[in-house]
Amino acid sequence: MIFRQLFDGSSSTYTYLLGDEASHEAVLIDPVFEQHARDAALVRELGLQLVATLDTHCHADHVTGAWLMKSALGSKIGLAGVYGAKNVDLPLADDAIVRLGGALRLRVRAVPGHTAGCLAFVMADKSMVFTGDALLVRGAGRTDFQGGSASRLFRSIKEQIFTLPDACVVYPGHDYAGRTSSTVGEEKLHNPRIGGGAREEDFVGYMSNLALPHPKLLDVAVPANLRCGQPEDGKAPAAASWGPVVTTYAGLQEIAPEWVASHRGDVELVDVRSPGELGGELGRLDGARSIPLDELRARAGEVKDDKPVIIICQTGKRSGMATVILRNAGLSRVANLAGGMVRWRELGLPG
C-alpha cells in the first residue's frame, strides 16, 4: 500500500493519501483547499490515479480541496449523504465500501457527534482507521455546533471505534501538538476524555466545559464545504497566465523544455551553472544570461521582470534553488527548466 500523511499548518489538518500499489488507484482523505497544488503534485509524481476524495465531515476550520481535485484530476467526491451537500458523487453512509484497485478497501463507519454527519474510514483488515475529528489523539472533537452532541459522540466512539482491534492505528483529522497517530488500545486506556473506563456522564461533563472560542472560519468554511469546496463563482483559482507552470511536491515551480523551446522570444533565460560548464558537452542556450548560482543573490537585480524568467542548470537541481532565490528577491514569474540541459539535449531541442 502507498500511504502518506500530509499536514496543513494553518488549520493543523492532516490529509491522507492511500494508494493501491498494483492498480495505482488512490484516494485522498480530508484534502485542504490551499494545499491543492502540493497534493496534486504528489499524486502526479507517484504516478497515481486519484479515484476519489473522502471528507470525514463538513469542516468548520478549513475549506476542503475536494472540488479542486475533481476539476483537476477527475476524482469523485465522497461525503456523508446526510449533509445534502452540492457536488457530491458518493453520498456515503454507514457500512459503505470504497474500493481501491482489487486489493484495498475502506469501510465507512458513521461516527456522528462532532457534527451530525461525521464518518470514519477503516481499512478492510482493520489495521488503520481515519477518525476525522470524532476521535483525536488523547482528545475528541468539540460538540457545541453543527448538530453536535456529546452523548452521541460518546456512543459513536465506543461502538464504532473502540470496538476495533487494540492494535488498529488511529489517524486523526487534526493535532495541535505534533502528534501524528495513536492506537485504539492507547486511546481506550489513556484518552482523558473517553478512555480509562469513562462513562457517558463523565464524557458529557468534560465536553460541556471545554469553553472553546468560536471557530474563526466557521461562517466561511461551512458554506464552502456544503459546495465541497467549489468557489462561489464556480471558478478554480487562476493558474500562471504566462505558461504551463507546474508546482512540484517540493514546492518548486517548473516548466517543460518543449514549451520553452517554442517560446524563446517570450522569456528571459538565466543559466546558473559555473562558467566552466558552459563550454562543456551540454553547451548553452543562445541568449541565456550567465549568473552562477553562488553569485545570484548578489546579482538578482540584474534579472528583469518584464518577461517570465526561466532558470537553467545541468539537471534542474541548482536551477530549482535559483527560482527560490529570485522569488525571495521579488520576481513572481519564475520557473525552473524541468530536467535542465540534460533533458533539453535528450529531446533534441535547438540551442
pLDDT tens-digit map of 57-81: 999 999 999 999 999 999 999 999 9
Phi, psi of 144 (to 5 degrees): -105, 15
pLDDT at 264: 94
Find, among 154, 149, 147, 117, the residue nearest to 132 by Cα.
117
pLDDT at 212: 87
pLDDT at 155: 98
Give the end-to-end CA distance of the chain in Å, rounded to a whole number: 44
Question: Count of CB atoms within 10 A of residue 1's CB?
Answer: 12
pTM: predicted TM-score of the whole model, two decimal places: 0.91
pLDDT at 116: 96
pLDDT at 334: 97
pLDDT at 146: 86
**Torsion sign over Cα 56, 58, 63, 64:** positive
Copy the grid coordinates of residue 228. 465541497
Which residue stretches of the chain have pLDDT < 70?
none
Phi, psi of 175 (to 5 degrees): -155, 140
pLDDT at 217: 80
Write the pLDDT tens digit of every residue in 247-302. 999 999 999 999 999 999 999 999 999 999 999 999 999 999 999 999 999 999 99
pLDDT at 102: 83
Question: Count of CB atoms within 10 A of residue 208's CB?
Answer: 11
CB 29 within 8 A of CB 172: no
Which of 96-110 are b and which e, b meaning 16 or more Cβ less than 10 Å from the residue's Cβ?
Answer: bebbbbeebebbbbb
Got the DSSP string for 96-124? -EEEETTTEEEEEEE-TTSSTT-EEEEET
pLDDT at 39: 98
Radius of gyration of the chain (CA): 24
What domains lie within the chain, and their CATH numbers? 2-225 (3.60.15.10), 246-346 (3.40.250.10)
